[in-house]
Structure 1
Amino acid sequence: MKLGADITAFMDRLGHRFAKPELLLRALTHSSIGSATRPDNQRLEFLGDRVLGLTMAEALFFADRAASEGQLAPRFNALVRKETCADVARQIGLGDVLKLGRSEMMSGGRRKEALLGDAMESVIAAVYVDAGFEVAKALVLRLWGERIDQVEEDARDAKTALQEWAQARGLPPPGYETVKRDGPDHAPIFTIEVRLASGEAERATAGAKRQAEQAAARSLLTRLENAT
């Protein structure tokens, strides 16, 4: 199968040459452009979520043999959440090669967190089907890289941590407001602002309100902690 230069360059960034490149093309095909003759990536996304989950569960289990289930669970959630998958997708320029319908392209689909995260899981599944679990696991561990070593920091629940920060300084709990909602009903994009009574505020955008709230809280908490 002859591939375009953009797909070939993406495989270089991904670090895997597909024996069956049609798997990669399917992984890059969003449901907005899928058809009977052009299958979309939703089934691969389902599989990739499980491959990613097993890889991270195994990595965390063996990295800290003294950790309890209660300690491992938030670390796991931090590594497999949609925001993290989308961050890795941006790292390898996945958005540049996504196959999208016109409506998704017009609404900025190549930058949407939920869409990028789903596509990253689909690509992981494509590697798994193409070359097996060990190859897919090695690819995930390489792409996630330092995120795994730094997961203890990322695993904190940002909304809870920000509320504790405010209460320790005699402030009421932070307020969260939806300042913008974009995208179609089946794939909305939310921009959330978190604000403290003292005036500090940050905004974040994600494909779910909870994700956007967490991201906004994390960003504000990081700024506040760096300022002290």
Structure 2
Amino acid sequence: MTSQKEAVAVLVERLGYVFKNKQLLDQALTHASGAKCKVAGSNERLEFLGDRVLGLVIAQLLYEQHEELPEGDLARMLNTLVRRQTCAKIGEKLGIPDALVLAGKGNKRTVVTDNIVGDACEALIAAVYLDGGLAAAHSIIGEHWAGFLKQAPDMRKDAKSSLQEWAAARSLAVPSYETIDTTGPDHAPEFKVELKVEGRDPAHGVSTTRRTAEQVAATEFLRRERIWK
């Protein structure tokens, strides 16, 4: 079984940052349940700071990478990228769960939840920021959030809503969806939907539900027309 010390070494390697002040790293990985002093010794204060640093860096990256998007879309993407579930996924990849300092041992060890991992991930960002400055934090966030940033355009809102707003802004008729084919057995049908937008070529979507097929068609249209990149 990997020791906590070994797990920390793995985490540091995956993180790609060497701490000058290792106490910051230790504190970032110390849950309140395992801290001798909850306020000064746990990662709660670092988590508070890391949340703000993460928000700033992600906001800047979105602003720079998506010049064509309005504030509302950027805000929705930001909320998804900085939420605790996203931080928890990245924390899992870094190996945070095994590196945490928690109360108890073995079966009596504090259960590691997504909230705990997500908070520790934000605390880790704060530790990097305090140890190496904003440039170091920016580099770490840019690297480990890269995959999520690539998916960011699809996080804005559902494609049908985006398309309807786009059409309304141009005084076009409401886009229409029609199921033009259904294949497969009754227990696993597949629907093909045709989307019609005034003055544009139709777009098509295929999925196991009509609703999803409509979303696929709307997404295909938005990307084909370069409304979504």
| CA distance, structure 1, for counterparts of residue 21 and residue 156 of structure 2 | 36
Corresponding position of 2:149: 148
CA contact (8 A) 2:90 2:144 kept: yes
**How does the TM-score come out when normalised to structure 2?**
0.64
Residue 51 of structure 2 corresponds to residue 61 of structure 1: no
Task: Report the Cα offset of residue 109 of structure 1.
Answer: 2.6
Quote the sequence identity (%).
34
- Equivalent residues of 1:32, 1:104 under 8 A apart: no
Tell me how far 1:103 sits from its aligned partner: 8.9
Is the partner of 1:59 in helix, strand or coil? helix
State the distance in 2 between where 1:10 and 1:26 align.
Answer: 14
SS of the residue corresponding to residue 41 of structure 2 reads coil
Query: Residues 109-133 of structure 1: CA distance to partner in whole angstroms, max 9, x if unpaired?
Result: 32x1111110100000000011000
Structure 1 runs of 4+ aligned residues shifted over 6 Å read none
Aligned residues: 167
From the superposition, tell whether residues 155 and 82 of structure 1 become closer, same or farther in structure 2 (CA, over 3 Å). Answer: farther
Matches within 5 A, 1:11-26: 11-26=12-27
Q: 2:103 touches 2:110 (CA, 8 Å); kept in 1?
A: no
1:120 aligns to what? 121
Rg larger in structure: 2
Note the C-alpha offset of 1:152: 2.0
User: In structure 1, what is the Cα distance between the partners aligned to 2:37 and 2:100?
Assistant: 18
Q: Structure 2 vs 1, CA of residues 19 and 107 (structure 1 numbering), >3 Å: closer, same or farther?
A: closer
Aligned partner of 1:163 in structure 2 is none
Letter in 2 for 1:132: G
Q: What letter corresponds to residue 126 of structure 1 in structure 2?
A: A
Structure 2 Cα separation of the partners of residues 141 and 104 of structure 1: 35
Report the alpha carbon displacement of residue 105 of structure 1 after superposing the two structures with TM: 6.7
The separation in 2 between residues aligned to 1:92 and 1:154, in whole angstroms, is 23
Q: Structure 1 unaligned segments of length 5 or more: list them.
A: 161-167, 170-221
Residue 20 of structure 2 aligns with an amino acid whose one-letter code is A
Q: Deviations over 1:93-147 (max 9, x none)?
A: 111101111299747632x111111010000000001100001111011001121
Q: Is the 8 A contact 2:10 2:95 kept in 1?
A: no
Q: Tell me the C-alpha RMSD between the 2 structures.
A: 3.3
Give 5+ residue unaligned stretches, structure 2.
Answer: 162-176, 179-206, 217-229
Q: Kindly tell me: are residues 52 and 223 of structure 1, through their superposed partners in 2, closer, same or farther at Cα, counting changes over 3 Å? A: farther
1:154–1:107 CA distance, 2 compared to 1 (3 A):
farther
